[in-house]
Amino acid sequence: MVKLIFFASIREDLGVSAAEEAVDGATTVAELVQVLGLRYGSLWTEVLSRENILIAVNQAMAGLQHPIVPGDEVAFFPPVTGG
């Protein structure tokens, strides 16, 4: 299982703020996105594949090829707008 967290527009578009999900053999963020798309449908694939989406694994910025292992915290969010 990995812990998923979604922020801002990503959370609103998916209608989910956090979830515990089985990885089903996924070893990278990209594979996890594929697994989630198969599990929850094309909306998830569309939202999690947006060009400007940002990803953090265990609270550090990561790319689609970043490895994931059970227990990881994987967050998806749009570009930041603080300050």
Partner 1 sequence: MQTKISVQTVEFDVGEETRALGRVSSQVGAITSFTGLVRDINEQAGVSGLFLEHYPGMTEKQIAEIIAEAALRWQLQAVTVIHRIGALQPTDPIVFVGVASLHRGDAFNACEYIIDFLKTRATFWKKEQTAAGPRWLTTRDSDVESAKTWQ
CA 56 vs. chain centroid, Å, equals 8
Binding mask 29-68 for partner 1 (x = CB under 8 A): ---------------------------x--xx--------
User: Measured between alpha carbons, how far is residue 32 from residues 14, 58, 60 in Å?
Assistant: 16, 15, 17
Return the number of the residue (19 or 34) whose C-beta is nearest partner 1: 19
According to CB under 8 A, which one of 5, 23, 53, 64 is a site residue for partner 1? Answer: 5
Using the contact rule CB under 8 A, the part of the chain among 1-9, 25-33, 40-48, 64-72 near partner 1 is 1-9
